[in-house]
Structure 1
Amino acid sequence: MKNNVQLITYIDRLTGSDTQTLNNILNDQLTDLFSGIHLLPFYYPIDGSDAGFDPIDHTQVDSRLGNWNDIKALGQEHELMADLIVNHMSAKSKEFKDVLANGNNSPYWDLFLTKDKIFPNGLSEQQRKKIYRPRPGSCFTNFALPNNESEDFWTTFTDNQIDIDITSEMGKEYLTRILKKFSENNIKMIRLDAAGYAFKKAGTSCFMLDETFEFIDELSKAANDLGIETLVEIHSYFQTQIEIAKRVDRVYDFALPPLVLHSIFSRDFTALTRWLKISPKNCITVLDTHDGIGIIDVGPMNGKPGLLDNSEIDNLVEKIHLNSAGESKKATGAAASNVDLYQVNCTYYDALGQNDFDYLVARAIQFFSPGTPQVYYAGLLAEKNAMELLLKTNVGRDINRPYLDSTIIDKALNKPFTKAMVSLIQLRNNCDAFNGEFTVNSDFSALEMKWEKDEHSATLVVDLANRSAKIRITESNDMRIVCLNTLLN
């Protein structure tokens, strides 16, 4: 993977159309900005109950977006990342429908995970309390079967997302078949979606067990053998992320987004600096994604201190709600469906009160942080909260999943912020210093992040007390300074 800025996008929500249109936009309006593209689920169907993360057929491109040849063509000019949804598939899939019709006589029975497979002697209350679930309520759903029978199936996320038995031969074959389809169509990296929940074991949390690491290791090796890198997607305690990073190709730096917000809100870089000195270097950095702004990644867990304490986290969340004029409250927690316990649903731009300077500073910090930066399509264009879409769907995360098109993109690219953002992306892509050594220092409201390689260096200096930020680039004997305030004018 090239160490350049990448784009995260849905095909249809950015283009208003299909894969070929996305290719045109990347070669026209967004030309030479992104070396790689994380294509959010493009499988059939893209408009299920979880925006494509509940595939009926994981190996089929939704025909509204095109076909595998279109994906393959897109991958000829950009490194493509796709989601391998390892934990579950749709209840509307032909496989699960066959299970509902034929019970344990179905040839697909072993593909899915039932409660009895993990708890053959029954689930005690003590065992139930140990199970970690990212949403409130039970992780099982009872489905009717033939002959007046029924069965409790694992549904870690929603009752339309049936968990796969990854230990069964059929489960292994299912995942292998998807990997092969990816390798045949220019997919160079996979994001292991919800991998932390894939392995279940009685008497445990059923989350990030030793066996989960073994599963990730095996799946990563299978992917690597096909020329595919793996990115593990896990929201968890920060120390867990550090340990996971030692065992996989790449992880997300999910602690970065809330820490950047905390730093700007409090005008104190102490917590962020502490994290950047110990954070994994083999990471993908983000500020926003198709999900909300994670909180669990910086918080305490099981009596162990977090990167922020509970009071700081409460202040962070309340400030987001305040900056977004209460819109984030309408999309978070019990206020909307897709209820999550660990994130706030809001655009990053609105979380910062639509302040262009603060948002550009946040992006500069991201680009200077260790790892390869990815920029979400809505964040690239500084899109505001999609309240009309939220009211229409009542899906909390839709507040940051707008439907755009070429005309909207043209208008957005003419905004002062977006022009500054493009300049920042080009700077990050073209400076060789980012392939060197990283250092970071701070003094409360002042931050310095520096990259050095041979005679090349890039230094970001931010002072929130006087609202200034500049980048100093040195290449051989040439030195230039880029002021973020100037970029916005």
Structure 2
Amino acid sequence: MSTESSHLSRRIAEHLVCIYPGENHQQLAAEYLALMGLTDQCASPLSHYNNWNETDNILITYGDSLIDDGELPLTTLKKFVDKQLKGVISGVHILPFFPWSSDDGFSVMDYLSVNPALGGWDEIGAIANDYDLMADLVINHMSSRSRWFDNFKKRIDPGKDYFFEASPEDDLSEVVRPRNSPLLTEYDTADGKRHVWCTFSADQVDLNFGNPQVLGEFINIIRHYLQWGVKIFRLDAVAFLWKQVGTPSIHRQQTHEIIKLLRTLIEHHSPKAIIITETNVPNRENLTYFGNANEAHIVYNFSLPPLLLYTLTSGNCQHLKTWMMSMPPAQSGTAYLNFVASHDGIGLRPLDGLIDDHDRTKLVNAMTAAGGKVTYRKSREGEEKAYEINIALYSALKGTLENADDGFQRERFICAHGIMLALEGIPALYIHSLLGTENDYQKVEHTGRTRSINRHVWHSENLERELADKNSHHSMVFSELKRLLSIRKKQPAFHPNATQFTLHLGFEVFAFWRQSINRSQSIFSLSNVTPVKQVINLADINLINTDHWIDLITEQHYDSLDGQLVLAPYQTVWISNR
């Protein structure tokens, strides 16, 4: 065995000592390496290497967000991206495209198949050939209608010991919950009634990673995805992975060690592959998933969407500034994933410690007035707290906390993205934000689920008609966001790991400075977050007199730094020296 292979086996075994202290670590390491198809010749990845740059961004979409009669939805999606977004979007995150029983895909019945209603692996591979494909590894739980769970109830393998069980008599008071549904669900099995842990719903039964076979199954699944071109793995709900009665059962050390192990395996198989952790939790907890640059390559910036929403509806960026100044720069080889909206609602737990209850309540009330729905969870003290706002972002930004509709909806919406696109990190845009889709009340009524409000399905013919109409807000939003993305990808100062400094220009203008890694380019991003114009002295921005400055968005030149910058309501400028 080569020195590198021996070193790799040793690394895997070291992870396993923490995860499974009572197991034969060398034997398990050999099994996992074989499942991953790693050999003596496997390449060792470069440490602290950025597998991304300023040209990278991600489109978030369901496989059937766009449909066309008589055509597989994945084919329709590929046609749309090729026609409308080629050269603008670099990556595509297709939300769970597997056979599922509930939760719009997040209750997976078979990890190794594509939902035939969407297409097949050939259609997935076609997208992966032209774009960086991001796929969900729904790793915490599985459908109660899956073969594994059917075997669990029959008490046969594979599946007999694949799901986490507890007793109603156990002390589960410390468990952190994202839902109000019962934690344990009773099922009849071949050897009696058993109670299965269900973090999210009775149809989403939690897997038992205390069983090394379960981890082995997922290693095999990962290898399958890699073979079909998946480059980016989104570890869904991974914070809840390791359960232990009598503890909060979130962020356990074994969870972090499993992520490290998966990264080691994935990087040695495909050095350019990336792990993203989906951990919708308070900010400080979220940051722990970077580890020491040896866990997630990328973490979601979950605090950004609710903070931006509050900033633009309140006209005050104090909380956003305070948060940004507290954010550590990501080490090389790691990055933030910035987003303003996603397929889920706007999570409120990431505001913990950032916004007080009074301001949070004002935001929730304003979103309810804008037609949004609010879901709640129970705290460990038994108190009901707003957990998530379900609303389409375009509808959410129709007005302010004080004015339900002030006529600045589109401007506010573009401003949110102008800020997000300039921040340190990689931008991700939900397809319904890109298209300016509004609240879908009909779908909520049809499904009975509040999250459906932001999961509209476009018929391609209707969408094409809207995008062709220059007076349609869908067309105006789509064109402007595409233009901003096209500008962004040409700027070295917008590299995801380029330097970022917060500027202090009051609470009405959110401003920061980005500087390229080689220091050749500086961009000053300034956004008026109010419905009235703001005037800034150019001398206060710290521009260098010897450079020539231009706003990349409007192409306005600033030949003299003695003048003033006038920002229209919700206007963003990207002032660059090149």
Query: Distance in 2 between the 1:378 and 1:409 partners?
Result: 11
Query: Distance in 1 between the 2:125 and 2:345 partners?
Result: 30
Residue 56 of structure 1 pairs with residue 109 of structure 2: yes
Query: Distance in 2 between the 1:243 and 1:469 partners?
Result: 40
How much has 1:486 moved relative to structure 2? Answer: 11
The answer to whether the 8 Å contact 1:460/1:469 transfers is no
Q: Match for residue 461 of structure 2?
A: 407
2:320 to 257, 272, 286: 272
Alpha carbons of structure 1 residues 298 and 399: separation in structure 2 relative to 1, 3 Å: same
Map 1:331-346 → 2, pairs under 5 A: 332-333=375-376, 342-346=387-391
The answer to whether the 8 Å contact 1:135/1:340 transfers is no
Secondary structure of 1:182's partner?
helix
Give the residue type in structure 2 aligned to 1:187. Answer: V
Q: Match for residue 450 of structure 1?
A: 513
Deviations 1:87-126 (A, max 9, x none): 11111111211222x23x444211111115xxxxx744xx
Deviations 1:231-268 (A, max 9, x none): 00111121112222334211100000111111112221
How much has 1:468 moved relative to structure 2? Answer: 6.0
Query: Distance in 2 between the 1:110 and 1:260 partners?
Result: 44
Q: Match for residue 129 of structure 1?
A: 173
The answer to whether the 8 Å contact 2:184/2:196 transfers is yes
How much has 1:298 moved relative to structure 2? Answer: 1.1
Residue 209 of structure 1 pairs with residue 252 of structure 2: yes
How much has 1:372 moved relative to structure 2? Answer: 0.2
Alpha carbons of structure 1 residues 144 and 29: separation in structure 2 relative to 1, 3 Å: same
Q: Match for residue 12 of structure 1?
A: 64
Alpha carbons of structure 1 residues 194 and 456: separation in structure 2 relative to 1, 3 Å: same
Query: Distance in 1 between the 2:97 and 2:437 partners?
Result: 22
Deviations 1:172-206 (A, max 9, x none): 12211210111101101100001011101122100
How much has 1:487 moved relative to structure 2? Answer: 12
The answer to whether the 8 Å contact 2:187/2:195 transfers is yes
Query: Distance in 1 between the 2:385 and 2:112 partners?
Result: 28
Report the more deviating stretch, 10-19 or 26-35: 10-19
Q: Match for residue 108 of structure 1?
A: 159
2:338 to 285, 299, 308: 285
Residue 2 of structure 1 pairs with residue 52 of structure 2: yes
Q: Match for residue 229 of structure 1?
A: 274
Residue 416 of structure 1 pairs with residue 476 of structure 2: yes
Residue 255 of structure 1 pairs with residue 303 of structure 2: yes
Report the more deviating stretch, 12-21 or 62-71: 12-21
The answer to whether the 8 Å contact 1:283/1:370 transfers is yes
Query: Distance in 2 between the 1:292 and 1:177 partners?
Result: 32
How much has 1:450 moved relative to structure 2? Answer: 2.1
The answer to whether the 8 Å contact 1:420/1:487 transfers is no
How much has 1:333 moved relative to structure 2? Answer: 4.4
Residue 464 of structure 1 pairs with residue 511 of structure 2: no
Q: Match for residue 228 of structure 2?
A: 185
Query: Distance in 2 between the 1:469 and 1:91 partners?
Result: 58
Map 1:343-358 → 2, pairs under 5 A: 343-353=388-398, 355-358=409-412
Query: Distance in 2 between the 1:263 and 1:317 partners?
Result: 13
Q: Match for residue 320 of structure 1?
A: 367
Deviations 1:370-411 (A, max 9, x none): 110000001111100011101111111110001013223324
Alpha carbons of structure 1 residues 144 and 389: separation in structure 2 relative to 1, 3 Å: same
Alpha carbons of structure 1 residues 20 and 215: separation in structure 2 relative to 1, 3 Å: same
2:503 to 433, 441, 451: 441
The answer to whether the 8 Å contact 1:29/1:410 transfers is no
Alpha carbons of structure 1 residues 183 and 430: separation in structure 2 relative to 1, 3 Å: same
Query: Distance in 1 between the 2:457 and 2:233 partners?
Result: 24
Q: Match for residue 188 of structure 2?
A: 144
Residue 27 of structure 1 pairs with residue 90 of structure 2: no
Secondary structure of 1:243's partner?
helix
Report the more deviating stretch, 106-115 or 369-378: 106-115
Residue 307 of structure 1 pairs with residue 354 of structure 2: yes
Report the more deviating stretch, 195-204 or 277-286: 277-286
Query: Distance in 2 between the 1:292 and 1:469 partners?
Result: 35
How much has 1:169 moved relative to structure 2? Answer: 2.7
Alpha carbons of structure 1 residues 343 and 272: separation in structure 2 relative to 1, 3 Å: same
Give the residue type in structure 2 aligned to 1:451. Answer: R
1:482 to 553, 558, 562: 553
Alpha carbons of structure 1 residues 274 and 332: separation in structure 2 relative to 1, 3 Å: same
Secondary structure of 1:156's partner?
coil
Residue 242 of structure 1 pairs with residue 302 of structure 2: no
Give the residue type in structure 2 aligned to 1:9. Answer: T
Query: Distance in 1 between the 2:142 and 2:85 partners?
Result: 33
CA RMSD of the aligned region, Å?
A: 2.6
Secondary structure of 1:133's partner?
coil
Q: Match for residue 428 of structure 1?
A: 488
Identity of aligned residues (%): 25
Secondary structure of 2:112's partner?
strand
Alpha carbons of structure 1 residues 288 and 412: separation in structure 2 relative to 1, 3 Å: farther
Deviations 1:410-443 (A, max 9, x none): 2443422222111111111222221232222231
Query: Distance in 2 between the 1:468 and 1:348 partners?
Result: 25
Secondary structure of 2:104's partner?
coil
Query: Distance in 1 between the 2:217 and 2:508 partners?
Result: 51
How much has 1:139 moved relative to structure 2? Answer: 1.0
Residue 97 of structure 1 pairs with residue 150 of structure 2: yes
Give the residue type in structure 2 aligned to 1:181. Answer: H
Give the TM-score normalised by the residue count of structure 1: 0.88
Query: Distance in 2 between the 1:162 and 1:294 partners?
Result: 23
Report the more deviating stretch, 29-38 or 284-293: 29-38
Q: Match for residue 302 of structure 1?
A: none
Secondary structure of 2:322's partner?
helix
Larger Rg: 2
Give the residue type in structure 1 aligned to 2:203. Answer: N
Give the residue type in structure 2 aligned to 1:2. Answer: W
Give the residue type in structure 1 aligned to 2:527. Answer: V
Give the residue type in structure 2 aligned to 1:257. Answer: P
Query: Distance in 1 between the 2:235 and 2:307 partners?
Result: 24
Query: Distance in 1 between the 2:181 and 2:507 partners?
Result: 41
Query: Distance in 1 between the 2:476 and 2:533 partners?
Result: 18
Give the residue type in structure 2 aligned to 1:150. Answer: K
